[in-house]
């Protein structure tokens, strides 16, 4: 397991639940000081109380001013060396019923949320000539899925941002990567399962099987598996890894 120094300060957006919470816990266990950022103070406080993080910051990643203020406060406590831009949201609808507002919501959270957090932390990283930026994208950023065109478009945009920014920062001591989980066992996925049950009348087991079939291993991904990949990318041994979009999906892509 990669080990990080307590002098390493990691900021994890959407760090209070699901994949973000697993990432926060892994980074903290490895030795980093972790600040979780999100909209729900109670959820963030629970993450701190559990030991998954040491500090919490309330902000909506879709709101640039909110993110900039929260990051400045966290950085004043300790410079930020690691950003895990994990916060995201998913909505499904046929393309014909996906209006401009739906596309805007998906872009604001899933893409601009990454942009806002990255722009807030990158200047300090460049000044110190060290840093790790990891965006949690999705296999939907590497391939298409029916009925989530807006979500998939936003995640594809994240991959494009990562690949371009990695080239800009290649000689700076900062690496920029993405991890792309397949369907993962989180409360966010529970919404998809409930949606399948509601629309098709299938049982919970059948709904899970419908999602699991995308994974050649025939299962859902565990949040800890995504966290382990992020932890490796944040370690010293991954200094030559940048501009990559690593699928954590059992061979799906």
Question: What residues are labeled active site?
Answer: 151
Q: Which of 72, 69, 80 is nearest to 131 (CA)?
A: 80
Q: Are 157 and 113 in contact (CB under 8 A)?
A: no
Match 């903290």 to its residue by tokens: 28
For residue 220, give the DSSP letter. P
The C-alpha torsion from 113 through 116 and 119 to 124, rounded to 10°, is -90
Contacts of 243 (CB under 8 A, 6+ apart): 162, 163, 166, 167, 170, 176, 177
Tokens of 140: 């939907």
E strands, 55-173, are 55-58, 82-85, 131-136
* Whole-angstrom distance, CA of residue 125 vs CA of residue 153: 28
Report which secondary-structure segment, H or E, holds 248.
strand 245-248
Q: Which of 82, 33, 79, 35 is nearest to 55 (CA)?
A: 35
């Amino acid at each position: 397991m990669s080990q990080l120094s307590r002098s390493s300060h990691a900021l994890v957006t959407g760090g209070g639940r699901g994949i973000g919470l697993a990432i926060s816990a892994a980074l903290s266990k490895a030795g980093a000081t972790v600040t979780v950022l999100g909209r729900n103070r109670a959820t963030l406080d629970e993450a701190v109380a559990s030991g998954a993080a040491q500090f919490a910051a309330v902000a909506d990643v879709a709101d640039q001013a909110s993110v900039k203020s929260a990051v400045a406060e966290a950085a004043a406590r300790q410079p930020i060396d690691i950003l895990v831009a994990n916060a995201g949201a998913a909505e499904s609808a046929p393309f014909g019923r996906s209006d401009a507002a739906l596309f805007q919501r998906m872009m604001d959270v899933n893409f601009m949320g990454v942009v806002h957090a990255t722009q807030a932390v990158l200047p300090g990283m460049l000044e110190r000539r060290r840093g790790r930026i990891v965006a949690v994208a999705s296999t939907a950023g590497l391939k298409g899925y029916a009925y989530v065109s807006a979500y998939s478009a936003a995640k594809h945009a994240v991959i494009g941002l990562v690949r371009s920014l990695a080239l800009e920062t290649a000689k700076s001591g900062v690496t920029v990567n993405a991890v792309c989980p397949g369907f993962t066992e989180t409360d966010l996925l529970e919404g998809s399962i409930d949606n399948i049950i509601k629309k098709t009348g299938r049982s919970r087991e059948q709904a899970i099987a419908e999602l699991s079939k995308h994974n050649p291993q025939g299962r859902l991904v565990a949040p800890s598996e995504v966290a382990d990949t992020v932890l490796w990318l944040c370690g010293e041994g991954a200094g030559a890894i940048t501009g990559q979009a690593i699928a954590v999906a059992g061979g799906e892509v």
